[in-house]
Amino acid sequence: MTSAEVLSVAMAAKAVYQLNSYVSWCQAALDVAKNEGKSQQIITKIRKMISNGKKDHDEEILHYGYFRAMIPTDPETIVQVNEMPYNKVLLKSQEWQRYYQRRKNMEEKMEPFDNLVTFEHR
């Protein structure tokens, strides 16, 4: 694939709120663009896309939760993010620590999967 094609996949991932995939595809596009010998202007543009994608990703984690979060204004839309933010400074912040503790408390209250009732498929 060319860097332009890889960026098209990245944009498709972003369009369906797969923010972690968007960042990964942009990083792949950067590698391909370097191998293709693209101009410094294009390389810089892709790096900016990665930087902005990571920022957007981390904001979604803090606002809506990790891995898959529903957008409150559109509950049918799922945002897919990683469990942890990209920003290492954010990992050490009080805001992240509060969020992470809330998540852990919620997980502890959840029923384990082996206690779920199963139904036979007919």
- pLDDT tens, the chain, 122 aa long: 999 999 999 999 998 888 899 999 999 999 999 999 999 999 999 999 999 999 998 888 777 665 455 555 666 667 777 777 888 887 788 877 887 787 777 777 766 555 444 444 44
> Which residue in 44, 69, 74 sits closest to 58, CA to CA?
69
Amino acid at 89: V
Q: Give just the sign of the alpha carbon dihedral 84, 87, 91, 96.
A: negative
The token pair at 91 is: 């990992």
Return d(Cα 82, Cα 18) in angstroms, integer: 10
